[in-house]
Structure 1
Amino acid sequence: MAVTTPSATLAEGVRAVLAAATGTEFAGAEVRRLTGGASREIYAVRATDHTGRETTAVLRRDPPGRGEIDRMRAEVACLRAAAAAGVPVPEVLASGDTAPGIDAPYLLMNTVPGESIPRKLQRDPGFAAVRAHLAEDFGYVLGLVHRTPVTTLTALDDRDPLDAIEKTYRDLAEPRPTVEIGLRWLRDNRPPDRAACLVHGDFRLGNLLIDADGIRGVLDWELAHLGNPIEDLGWLCVRAWRFGAAAPVGGLGTRDQLLDGYQRATGDRPSAAELHWWVVFGTLKWLVLSRFQAERHLGGAEHSLELAAIGRRVCESEYDLLDVLGLLEAAPGDSAPQAPAPTVHDRPDLTEILELVTETLTGEIGPALPEDATAQRYLLRICVSLLQIGGRELRAGAGPSDRVHDLLRALDCPSEAALAERLRTGALAGRDPRVRAAVNAAVEARLRVSDPRRLG
């Protein structure tokens, strides 16, 4: 009879890889899943040798069964090339296409000290001194990234980013007037191109480790590619990456500070118009990628509360896109909600039920969770947000949707998709006052339900 050898656990697999990388024999290892990562799993690793001394590391791996070997190899190459160019990045300890227990393409790095949570960096007193120069530091480090030699990075994607994001949008088969307006503006106003260099692709708060002295580590290189360097600068200025703060660069500083640091590293200072184009591009890109992420849940590929919730946040980027294009109109005041239709059901009514459940989750269940229940607290916040969205939609009634449909009918468009198609073909123009009224009304109706604070 054949003997089946038990497969290695993730902790055992990481221990073996770490031991081979460091030349240390470890008595045991623990792995703890961390939140974050757009498409990869991230784990904190703690290994103990036979004397009791601890070694820490960070594991990034593809989800088993959905590995992308070439992309992981490219990320490893980026980290090594960037480190050689002086970019503050974690050290690659080991990497591979797979290993027993890890069972997917992986990357093992040293642990870099620092904080990555945006709101802590923006508000905590311990970061008060470093906040004064972080925007300039961002520009300087991006300059180092863009000066990185690319001779070893031939596997990186070098497609035109505007063509790529338009293809992603078209493949979703969900025409949106705001995207059509943005695409037309980007095509008509594109600045001269630059020589291709290493572009990080997601340089922002959340992907940076920062301490009281400055930037200690640039993380998450999975979206790195070869392209125009100003793409990174524009992405950092997208409103979504301010995380609710007012300052235009990550909620921490000014564009002039960002460009000062970039000029110090590269000798080059992009114009305001060039940077603005890439801010518009980044805003549209995040709009499309948000809808793309939501589609993973909505299309049935991955059942996920988090991805489902992202679907209701697409309107935030629609609003931001209209804003950066100068097409945003003042939102009208809250209209009185419609009286509810007669119902056979007893009280509490549906809005009251949603409010009661929200109060219970935030007031009783949340505080009762243990301190280390980070993932559960994160999911709880998403649940509460979705319940609040549902309540606001019920209270709004049909009035806002009816107003949008009236404005669309005035344009001889039965739907927003029809309006988007006419914008794509040029039959209607984005700056037509009637188009602006319809698009603004639709985005404002969605945003008033999903995130009314964004309307001020």
Structure 2
Amino acid sequence: MSLADALSAVLGAEIEDLTRLTGGASRTTWAFTARTADGARPLILRTGEADEVHAGMELEAQVQRLAGAQGAPVPEILASSNSVEPLGHPYLICSAIAGETIVRRIQRALDDAGRDKLLRQCAAALAAIHRADPNDAELSDTDQLAQWRVELDDMNDTTATFEWAFRWLDRNRPKSLRTTLVHGDFRMGNLIVDGSELAAVLDWELVHAGDPAEDLAWFCIRAWRFGAPRELDAGGLGSIEDFVTAYEQAGGAPIDRTEFRWWLVSATLRWGIICRFQAQRHLSGQAPSVELATIGRRVCETEFDLLNLLGAPLVTAADSGEDRDSPGLHGRPTAAELLEAVADFLDKDVRDATTGQVNFHTRVAANALRMVQRELTSTGAEAVRAAIADLGADDEAALAASIRRGDFDERADDLLPALRYLVGHRLAAAHPGYEQE
């Protein structure tokens, strides 16, 4: 039985224009029209395999109904099932919502008044979500920090900066933890925006019970302002203070501003671990992808952000690079020059001749080659190794293990300059100029 026929049986309607929209990390989305004697209605189908990380489809449907009852903008849920019958996968069917999800298009369409309006609507939507009782969905609070530690350890990979962030978070955990329904991935990109109106909150697969400040902080990490100016650090829409104040004015619980820094550090660390996890999906062969592979090099961006949040501003390593005209053992063009030529070919000729996902992945591939080019011409590696050795560690893995044991809890003044230098060296290859953006 085809997917359209199976949908027709579920909804008791004729299915038209079934179109696959995305194939994301955990869910696939389809658009279609359901036609009955009463007329045609545009709908959305989400499918995805069951796993231990993401909420099941029936739970997604339940929490959206709970949040919607409190005033959060959510699609109308028509059907959901955790069973693989009859569609071949667990599924959720909901109403289609008009609007835009691509963040840069949303940003270009907003003026100052529109950004302020959307910021307040996002804050109000979170306040509504947090009024829902997680017990109604049989959700209990879990230690997210402990879960991220397990995920990192399962990959058998960490960084010295990650370990310093874990130590800081462990030693400074807020005492006034509250438990509400937490969306888990509330950010620009997971919202439908119609003009300057928040039309719907999407992607509930990471829903759980937790502190409401977790959702607020996640919205405010640097990655989710998508290149917007620094002063628009809440989703690229406004200031963090304006966002938190709007949340409180919309009925959200009071947020302690000092404690909120803890949640920002926690959210930034989480994004760094996600970047490493996405790269692992490529490295393990689970999901070979140039995009996932390149995301792994964004870890140093989160390290930079963590050091800034923890009061250790970065001083970028001064990597001047080797003489680009030096032929080396293999003559000219050098390896770096070959990479530059291929990157230029991808970025110009291939991108001009392609569209859609291939066009996007071509840009990602060109960027990956330029990372390798900068790494090949870097001269700072020995200085970084020397800085680590000065701390009594053989390499970064040994330094990370020492930090985890607490060996540097009272030696931050010794540790942080080395971390700044290490992260600066990585940034010089992965994303030069990130510290100025």
> What is the SS of the residue equivalent to 2:316?
coil
How far apart, CA to CA, are the structure 2 residues paired with 1:209 and 1:323?
Answer: 31
Once the two structures are superposed, the pairs formed by residues 329-408 of structure 1 within 5 Å of their partners are 329-337=314-322, 343=328, 345=330, 347-369=332-354, 373-396=355-378, 399-408=379-388
Give the drift of 1:429.
Answer: 3.4
Once the two structures are superposed, the pairs formed by residues 22-421 of structure 1 within 5 Å of their partners are 24-26=13-15, 28-34=16-22, 37-47=24-34, 54-63=40-49, 71-98=56-83, 102-124=87-109, 129-154=113-138, 156=139, 158-245=141-228, 246=230, 247-266=232-251, 268-337=253-322, 343=328, 345=330, 347-369=332-354, 373-396=355-378, 399-421=379-401
Alignment match of 1:9 (pick from 2, 9, 29): 2
1:173-217 CA distances to partner (integer Å, 9 max, x unpaired)?
223211111111111111123331100011000001112242110
- Distance 1:334-1:455 versus aligned 2 partners, 3 A rule: farther
Is residue 427 of structure 2 the alignment partner of residue 440 of structure 1?
no
The answer on whether the counterparts of 1:67 and 1:105 sit within 8 Å (CA) in structure 2 is: no
The answer on whether the counterparts of 2:317 and 2:425 sit within 8 Å (CA) in structure 1 is: no
1:268-320 CA distances to partner (integer Å, 9 max, x unpaired)?
32121121110011011111121122112212333222221111111111111
1:127-185 CA distances to partner (integer Å, 9 max, x unpaired)?
5542122222222111101001334310x352112222222222222232111111111
The aligned amino acid for 1:409 is A
* Structure 1 outlier segments of 4+, above 4 Å: 47-51, 65-70, 338-344
The aligned amino acid for 1:382 is V
Give the drift of 1:73.
Answer: 2.0
The answer on whether the counterparts of 1:430 and 1:436 sit within 8 Å (CA) in structure 2 is: no
- Distance 1:69-1:413 versus aligned 2 partners, 3 A rule: closer
- Distance 1:432-1:97 versus aligned 2 partners, 3 A rule: closer
> What is the SS of the residue equivalent to 1:174?
coil
Percent identity of equivalent pairs: 36
> What is the SS of the residue equivalent to 1:80?
helix
> What is the SS of the residue equivalent to 1:452?
coil
TM-score normalised by structure 2 residue count: 0.91
> What is the SS of the residue equivalent to 1:266?
coil
The aligned amino acid for 2:392 is D
1:24-63 CA distances to partner (integer Å, 9 max, x unpaired)?
334x44222325x442112222456699x65322221114
Give the drift of 1:431.
Answer: 5.2
The answer on whether the counterparts of 2:314 and 2:424 sit within 8 Å (CA) in structure 1 is: no
How far apart, CA to CA, are the structure 2 residues paired with 1:216 and 1:435?
Answer: 47
- Distance 1:43-1:384 versus aligned 2 partners, 3 A rule: farther
Structure 2 unaligned spans of 5+ = none
- Distance 1:191-1:200 versus aligned 2 partners, 3 A rule: same
- Distance 1:231-1:32 versus aligned 2 partners, 3 A rule: same
1:399-434 CA distances to partner (integer Å, 9 max, x unpaired)?
221111011111121101111111111222375333
How far apart, CA to CA, are the structure 2 residues paired with 1:271 and 1:256?
Answer: 11
- Distance 1:298-1:344 versus aligned 2 partners, 3 A rule: same
- Distance 1:66-1:257 versus aligned 2 partners, 3 A rule: closer
The answer on whether the counterparts of 1:134 and 1:253 sit within 8 Å (CA) in structure 2 is: no
How far apart, CA to CA, are the structure 1 residues paired with 2:35 and 2:359?
Answer: 29
TM-score normalised by structure 1 residue count: 0.88
How far apart, CA to CA, are the structure 2 residues paired with 1:69 and 1:186?
Answer: 25
Give the drift of 1:357.
Answer: 2.1
CA-based RMSD of the aligned residues comes to: 2.5
Structure 1 unaligned spans of 5+ = 1-7
The answer on whether the counterparts of 1:181 and 1:430 sit within 8 Å (CA) in structure 2 is: no
1:315-359 CA distances to partner (integer Å, 9 max, x unpaired)?
111111111111123224442435677545454332222222222
How far apart, CA to CA, are the structure 2 residues paired with 1:340 and 1:314?
Answer: 31
> What is the SS of the residue equivalent to 2:41?
strand
The answer on whether the counterparts of 2:317 and 2:428 sit within 8 Å (CA) in structure 1 is: no
Give the drift of 1:231.
Answer: 0.6
How far apart, CA to CA, are the structure 1 residues paired with 2:255 and 2:160?
Answer: 30
The answer on whether the counterparts of 1:29 and 1:47 sit within 8 Å (CA) in structure 2 is: no
How far apart, CA to CA, are the structure 2 residues paired with 1:346 and 1:336?
Answer: 18
How far apart, CA to CA, are the structure 2 residues paired with 1:111 and 1:50?
Answer: 19
**How many equivalent pairs are there?**
434
